[in-house]
Structure 1
C-alpha cells in the first residue's frame, strides 16, 4: 500500500522528421492508483507536462501497436524489444517520443512486483477494507 515506482528514462522527442532531441521523461506508478502510469516531460523553455494513461496500454505497446484516442504506443519495427514510439495527441497537437523498450520493461517489472498485472482490483479492495477498519467500520 502506498508504494510508488519511479523511473527517469531518456527519450527522443521527435519535433519533426528532421529534428529530434533527447529529454528526460519521468514515469511514476502508484499502488493507490493501480491502473495508471504518469508520464511527465519538460520541453526546453516550457513547464512540465504530465499525461496519465493505463499501465496495460504500456504493457501492450511493448510488443504491438496499442491505443485508441489520445495515446498510442507501439514498436518502431518488428525486432523484439526494439525502440517504441509513444504518441500523445491533444486536439490538433501531437507529441511523438522514441524510446528503447528495455527501460520500460524494467519499469513495468517493478510495478508488477507491487501490484501484479490483472490484480489491480484486489489492491483497491484492500485499500477499501483498510479504510473501513480505520474509520471504525464506517465506509
Structure 2
C-alpha cells in the first residue's frame, strides 16, 4: 500500500541581503516513488513551478551542504532561526529559497518511517516505472 506525505509551507525567496519575498510551497513524498520529493512553488497568480529532487538531498541538506546538480541545499541561519537554503537552477535562471528547518524535519520524519533511508529499492517497482515511461513517449 502506498503512503503519501504532504507538507504545505511558506518559504522566503531571497532577492538580496535586505530583500525577500514570501513563497507558498507544497512538498509531496509518495512511497510509489521512494527516491523523490516533489516541490510545487506557487506565486500570487496561481502559476506553479514544480521541481523533483532526491529525498536524500533534502535530508542531507538539513545538516551539511549537499547537491552538485541543478538543486543545491545547505543549512544556515536567518534572523536567528534555523533555515535550509534551497538553490534550484534552470535554463531560466537561478533562485535562492529559505525554508524553515523545523518544518522540513517534520516533513521528512514520516517519510523516513514509511521508507527508511537505504531501503528505497524495496519500494521501487522498475516494471511499473518502465511501463509509465513507455506510455508517455
Question: TM-score, normalising length from structure 2?
Answer: 0.82
How far the C-alpha of 1:46 sits from its partner, in A, is 5.7
Matches within 5 A, 1:80-95: 82-91=82-91, 93-95=93-95
- Stretches (4+) displaced over 3 A: none
Matches within 5 A, 1:49-60: 49-60=49-60
- How many residues align structurally? 125
CA deviation string 1:117-136 (max 9, x = no partner): 11101112xx579x8xxxxx
Aligned residues: CA RMSD: 2.0
1:69 aligns with 2:60: no
Task: Please tell me whether the aligned partners of residues 24 and 43 of structure 2 are also in contact (alpha carbons under 8 angstroms).
Answer: no
Larger mean Cα displacement after TM superposition, 30-39 or 13-22: 13-22
More strand by share: 2
CA distance in 2, matches of 1:128, 1:34: 12
Larger mean Cα displacement after TM superposition, 94-103 or 40-49: 40-49
Question: TM-score, normalising length from structure 1?
Answer: 0.81
Which runs of 5 or more structure 1 residues have no equivalent in the other structure?
Answer: 132-139
Q: Determine the structure 1 residue equivalent to 2:122.
A: 122
CA distance in 2, matches of 1:4, 1:56: 17
CA deviation string 1:62-88 (max 9, x = no partner): 0000001100000125xxx82111000
CA deviation string 1:85-117 (max 9, x = no partner): 100000350121111211101111010111111
Matches within 5 A, 1:125-136: 127=125
Larger mean Cα displacement after TM superposition, 45-54 or 61-70: 45-54
Matches within 5 A, 1:28-39: 28-39=28-39
CA distance in 2, matches of 1:62, 1:43: 25
